Structure formats: C-alpha cells, structure tokens
Structure 1
Amino acid sequence: MTRTSHLIQELEQANSQLLQSEKLAAIGQLAAGVAHEINNPIGYVFSNLRTLTGYVDVLLQIIDRIDDAESLGELRGMKQRLEYGYIREDVLALIGESEEGIERVKGIITALKDFSHIDETTFQPADLHRGLDTTLNLVNNELKYKAEVVRAYGELPLIDCLPSQINQVALNLLTNAAHAIEAHGRITVRTGHEGDRVWFEVEDSGRGIDPAHRPRLFEPFFTTKPVGEGTGLGLALSYRIVEKHGGHIEVDSEPGRGSRFRVWLPVTQPDEPEEARIPQ
C-alpha cells in the first residue's frame, strides 16, 4: 500500500469514527427526551396509585362495617362522613387517567424500538410515514416547547431502505429545525411521491440560513451553533445516509423566513446495491 492510499484509508476511518460520534450524541439527546416523556406519565400514575390506596382503605372500612352496623342509617352516615360519593367518581377518573399514562409509556417504548433496529444491514420495504411518526413521537419533548408540528402527508408506496438510518436523518432535520426557531413557531413535515422516487421534507419558520453558509452545510464540523451546542456532524451524517440510499437532499432557505430540507429517495434499490450500512 502506498503512503497516499494509507493516508486516505486513515482519513476514511477517522471520518467514520467522527460520524459515529454524532450518532452517539444523537442517541444521548434522544435518551434525555425519552426519559422526560416517560417520567411525566409515570409520575402521575404513581401519584394516582397513592390516592387510590387511600380510597381503597376508606371503601374497605365501609365494607367491614356492614356486618357490625346497628342500622342502615349508621352506614349512610359513615358513607357521607367518608365522602363515598366523591371517592366513587374519582376512583374511575384516576383509573382512566392511569391507563392513558401507561398507554403513553407503551407508545414511547414501541416508537423507540421502531426507531433503533440497530441490527439492520440490508434494505427492506418500509413505511416512511410510520418512521416519521415514530421519530416525531421520540423528539416530542424537543419540539413541543418550540413549535407547532404540522403533518402534511401524501400517498406513498413502501420504499426499500434501512429504516433506522432514515429515521436518523429525520431526527437530525427535526432537531435542527427546532434549534433554528428562536420563539414559538411552526415545523411542517410533508411527503410526496413522483415517479420512481419519494420525498419527505422538514420546513421550519426559524431564522433561516445565511447564503454564505449554504455551500458548507454538509461539511463535517461546520456549524453555526454556539460552541458546545453542536458538533457539526448531523447534516454530514444525514448526507452520507441519503447518498448511500441513492438519494439526495435539497435545501431552500431565506434568512428571517425559515428553511426547508427535502430528502429524495428511490422507491426501490438495485438487486445488488452497494453496501448501504454506515460504518460502525
């Protein structure tokens, strides 16, 4: 191996390691958001269980008193004193609220499983809308304080892809959109289908991109975020993933009016595609 080829190989390995670090950073950010989303419903389920414990104690007192009560009037007085009517209504409300909380946790866990699929190495037919919804559920904590999220989905066929990697692209675009919005704004996720290609896009009402920065958007380490708030690898990783899938990314932005990133992907892959897995 010549010195030049050896240096090229070392650069490729270093680039792969840097892109891997961005994936790990995204996972850390995702984990923090998921933890917050799970803590909320778990918190009120736990609170409801403590209240229900007190209610059960009251109800058991009333039931135990049935055999010993000297008159029906005594039981009625006890029920009134212990606020049986209120407890009866509130028990049902607490149970319903707790069920909703557990369903929310189950939904987040299911979305996380759909998002990861870290063992994917070959293309498979996938529902792009499901992947987008999964990613939106996972980054809800990141988005809900910054923007209203609007879904504008078209009719799409299943596409050949590595779903977890396309989810990673959507995650990067959505978090970038949230960071671009300084006050409460809007993020719109659209999809469409043209011929043998599909597309999805993320549009934000944020500050937009300086025209001088456009040529460098997909360069590793390039970022306009303050030091410590961005690695500059998210868009570089997204570019590589989309390129490996035989697609491309379009950018439309105007300072002060927001940005739109559109990802084009082929519906089907060649019978023997180039190895699509991003280096681990």
Structure 2
Amino acid sequence: MSATPWMLLVIAGGVGLIASFLLGRWSRREVDARGPAEQPGSGHQQLRESEQRFQTLVERSPDALFIHREGTLVFHNPAAAALLGHARADVLRGRKLAELIQAGEEGVLTQAGEELGVQEVHWVHREGRLVLGEVVTFPLVFEGQPARVSIVRDITERKHLREKLQTADRMAAIGSLAAGVAHEINNPLSFVLSNVRFVRDELRALLEEADEGTRERLKEVQDALEETQSGGDRVSEIVRDLRTFARGDDGKRVPVNVHTVLDLCGNIARSQLRHRAQLVKVYGDLPSIVANETRLGQLFLNLIINAAQAIPEGADPKSNEVRLTTWRQGEAEVVVEVRDTGVGISPEHLHRLFDPFFTTKPAGVGTGLGLPICQGIVTNLGGRIIVESEPGKGSAFRVFLPVGESPEPPATQAGS
C-alpha cells in the first residue's frame, strides 16, 4: 500500500518529534549530572522548555503512539489508550501487543527492519469490536535501548464512508443500466402479454364449442397459456422493481387503508406461508395514510415473504407464526410490525441488511435488492424502518409511516 500524504508527514514529523522529545530527556539528565557549576546561564531552562513542548505534542496528539520492545508496550500516549477505549492514559503499559491486535497481524509492528510504509492493522477495542488503524512503524532508541514506535490513525469510519461511496457509485451505474434495461424489456413484454391474453380469451370461446376430445386438448393449451401469463406477470413485476430501483417511487399518492393492503399481501403470500407458519393479525385503530397503494403493497409483501422464508422449510406450521401488528404512535405516525419466529439474524449482519446486494439467503434464492427497495419506499413516504433480531428467536421489522400528507418524491428529469 502506498503511503498517504499525511502518513509521509507523520513519518518525518514523528521521527523528529520523538527524537527531539527523547533527546530533550537525555540532555536534561546530562545537564543535571554536571551540577550547577557546569550549567550555562539559560541552557537548563531552555532544555526544560523544549522537553515540555515536545511532551505536550506527544500527549495531545490525536494520533495514537505506541513504543514497544520485543512485543511489549513500554510507552504510549493518551490517544493510544483512547483508541482502544480506555480512560486511563497508563493502562496499557506493559501489555503484550498480541493482546491488543487481531490475531496474526502483530507481525506488521514487530517485524525487524526499517520502516515498512503504511499498513492497515485491526486493533481490539476493550468492548470487543475491531478498530481499523493506518499504521507507520519504525525503529528508534528509547531510554537507551532499541525499540520500535508505531503511529496509528483510526480510519474505521473513513473506511466505512469510502465503502459507502463506492457502493453509491456502483448503484448509480447500475441504476442507469436498470432504467435502460427495464424500458427495453417493458415494450416487447407488453406486446407478448397482450397477445397471450387474446389467445387465452379465444380459447375459452373455443372450449365451449369444441367436442369432448378437442376440448381436452384445448384445455391443456389453456393451462400452458395460464402459466405463460403468470410468468409474464412476474417478469413485469421485476421490470417494475428495476424501474423503481433506478428512479424511485413516482406513483400517484392517495389515502390508503393500511389494513386492506396488509390483508391483500397476506393472501398473495399464502403459498409461502402455508407450509411454514400461521399468519396472525393484531390490528389497531389506524387512520388512512397518503401513499401509493402499489408501492405500499410491494413493501409489505416483501417483508411478509422474508418473514416466511426465515422459517425453515419442514418446520411445524402450528408452532411458528408470522405476526402482523399495527398501532398508532402519537398523532403523527402509524406503525406496522412484521414479526416472525424464524432463525433470526446474526448481530454482524444486522447493520448490512439494507445494503444493496447483501443477502443472508442461499445463492440463487435472494438478490439482496428486496430490503433496499423497501427502505427506499419507506424513505420516499417520509418514514423509517428498523429491525430487531436475535439468532434463534426470530426477527421484527417495524415500519413507521407518517399520518397525513407524505412528502412528494423528488422530480425526475425527462429522459432519465
């Protein structure tokens, strides 16, 4: 990894700063050893002031500084203790580096030789989480013995933001592609579905006029057309999702009865639920909300199907449930909760659930777009969505939606 500009400055400045600090300590001891007769008029005072200045720089530096010898810490500044979540500045002295760094990475700091350039090392916070640090390590003499100094800058948040920006760039490119693909698919698909409906309707008329043998053959053709119609409708839904993903919710908004939408979604998801769990409804007294009914249906249907799929196939349907609960929270919000008794979600996955393309489902089952689209629908309605889960105890997705007029979605430019 190439050194970043700040790290180059840190290397140069850090060497000078530490050397000056240590030189000041050594020089002051030497001056003290000479006795008053040997000390020049103001030299002693100047050395004291110089040492104090550099000591202040080391102690107040926002970057963590660790001095270690043979894998053991012999000095660190307050920022080093803070990096790992300790309040006391001297709490780490004497600790082994191997205790403070993710297993297998301590060699980056203890490897013999000259300065290795900028490295990324995961430090273990006292709470157990990992802190990603950008580290420069180089040798020096500390208190008369060889040692190594490591200067660390916490880049955990910066790394997270960089990943978000990279995802945003990728999503922008995919969004543009999705809009174009959806447009190209939608036109011929509409033509195909229109013809399928026409042939299906004509077959119904022919079935009434045909003899018994012909009627049986026509019935098989009609069944095939029904399956074709169902598949085409599914493709149409995918195209619609792609357009929503690329452009956001631009549908017309009207007063919507939340319970009516939930009932419809429960009926549609019946095939997913039937062999896994019971659908339980606990509805409160809710006012209508202003929303696009189709988008709201997409939101709830996705959450219900996800809840059903969180319960393993073969589970006893009588022992598991998907519970739909609604209530009004104050005057400003209604709440819809979709709770399941499924396998739950690991803590390390919770913060990534709404990241595009992230999925905990097996390959070929999930695309990782369902929950990001749900979050987009909720956000466009001026609401929010949260999730609570514990492995082995199921999950609960809670949707908060505003009562009354929802903010209109941002206008899209023509041709986008």
Q: TM-score, normalised by structure 2?
A: 0.40
Gaps of 5+ in 2: 1-167, 186-232, 241-248
Indicate the residue corresponding to 2:346 in structure 1. 210
Indicate the residue corresponding to 1:14 in structure 2. 174
Instruction: Give the counterpart of 2:359 among 185, 200, 223.
Output: 223
Indicate conservation of the 8 Å contact 2:250/2:409, yes or no.
no
User: In the alignment, is residue 171 of structure 1 matched against residue 301 of structure 2?
Assistant: yes
Deviations along 1:133-192, one digit per CA (max 9) or x if unpaired, are 011111111111110110000000010011111111111111111111011311100111
CA distance in 2: counterparts of 1:199 and 1:232, whole angstroms:
24
CA distance in 2: counterparts of 1:251 and 1:21, whole angstroms:
32
CA distance in 1: counterparts of 2:397 and 2:179, whole angstroms:
20
CA distance in 1: counterparts of 2:394 and 2:281, whole angstroms:
17
Q: Percent identity?
A: 40
Q: How do 1:150-165 residues align onto structure 2 when only pairs under 5 Å count?
A: 150-165=280-295
Instruction: Give the counterpart of 1:192 among 305, 308, 327.
Output: 327
The CA RMSD measured in Å over matched residues stands at: 3.7
Indicate conservation of the 8 Å contact 2:290/2:404, yes or no.
yes
CA distance in 2: counterparts of 1:217 and 1:10, whole angstroms:
18
How much does 1:275 deviate? 3.2
Q: How do 1:48-59 residues align onto structure 2 when only pairs under 5 Å count?
A: none
CA distance in 2: counterparts of 1:165 and 1:19, whole angstroms:
17
Alignment CA distance shift 1:20-1:161 (3 Å): farther
| Partner SS for 2:301 | helix
Indicate conservation of the 8 Å contact 1:19/1:233, yes or no.
no
CA distance in 1: counterparts of 2:284 and 2:398, whole angstroms:
14
Higher helix share: 1
User: In the alignment, is residue 129 of structure 1 matched against residue 234 of structure 2?
Assistant: no
Instruction: Give the counterpart of 2:269 among 128, 136, 139.
Output: 139
| Partner SS for 1:216 | coil
How much does 1:235 deviate? 0.4
User: In the alignment, is residue 253 of structure 1 matched against residue 389 of structure 2?
Assistant: yes
Indicate the residue corresponding to 2:408 in structure 1. 273
Task: Return the letter of the residue paired with 2:328.
Answer: H
How much does 1:18 deviate? 5.5
Task: Return the letter of the residue paired with 2:325.
Answer: R
Indicate conservation of the 8 Å contact 1:245/1:276, yes or no.
no
How much does 1:20 deviate? 11
Alignment CA distance shift 1:273-1:165 (3 Å): same
Indicate conservation of the 8 Å contact 1:244/1:276, yes or no.
no
CA distance in 2: counterparts of 1:189 and 1:262, whole angstroms:
10
Higher-Rg member (1/2): 2
Indicate conservation of the 8 Å contact 1:203/1:258, yes or no.
yes
Task: Return the letter of the residue paired with 2:266.
Answer: L
How much does 1:12 deviate? 2.2
Gaps of 5+ in 1: 1-7, 25-111
| Partner SS for 2:351 | helix
Task: Return the letter of the residue paired with 2:299.
Answer: V
Indicate conservation of the 8 Å contact 1:121/1:276, yes or no.
no
Indicate conservation of the 8 Å contact 1:187/1:204, yes or no.
yes
How much does 1:121 deviate? 1.9
Alignment CA distance shift 1:191-1:175 (3 Å): same
Indicate the residue corresponding to 1:40 in structure 2. none
CA distance in 1: counterparts of 2:283 and 2:263, whole angstroms:
11
CA distance in 2: counterparts of 1:250 and 1:238, whole angstroms:
11
How much does 1:122 deviate? 2.0
Indicate the residue corresponding to 2:399 in structure 1. 263
How much does 1:21 deviate? 9.2
| Partner SS for 2:367 | coil
How much does 1:9 deviate? 8.0
Alignment CA distance shift 1:258-1:11 (3 Å): closer
CA distance in 1: counterparts of 2:276 and 2:178, whole angstroms:
29
Indicate conservation of the 8 Å contact 1:154/1:190, yes or no.
yes
Q: How do 1:110-129 residues align onto structure 2 when only pairs under 5 Å count?
A: 121-129=251-259
